[in-house]
Amino acid sequence: MAQNQHLSGIEHSRTKVRHPQTNGSTERLNQTVQNEFYKVAFRKKLYKSIEGIQKDLDDFM
């Protein structure tokens, strides 16, 4: 159980392959984050560490 939890005590689960009912929302979130955060952020700022990207992503979310 401990390996399935992240920093905020959120329990993570895995989706089944080829099940769009569960995987579709995840894919849509990934696409939204890529289009609205990463593509914009990497055009505007040069990141020197993962921590900087993570902080900006946390602020975005």
- Residue 37 in any domain: the answer is yes
Domain assignment of residue 4, yes or no = no
Q: Which of 3, 4, 6 has the alpha carbon at shortest distance from 54?
A: 6
CA max distance for the chain: 39
Split into its structural domains, the chain has a count of: 1
* Residue 1 falls inside a structural domain: no
CA 36, 13, 61: angle at the middle one, nearest 5?
25
Strand, helix or coil at 2?
helix
Range of the domain at 38: 23-61
- pLDDT tens digits, one per residue of 40-57: 898 889 989 999 999 999
Q: Name the range with the highest mean pLDDT among 7-16, 20-29, 31-40.
A: 31-40
In a domain, 59, yes or no: yes
Would you say residue 15 lies in a domain? no
pLDDT at 4: 47
d(CA 50, CA 56): 10
Confidence of residue 20 (pLDDT cuts 50, 70, 90): low
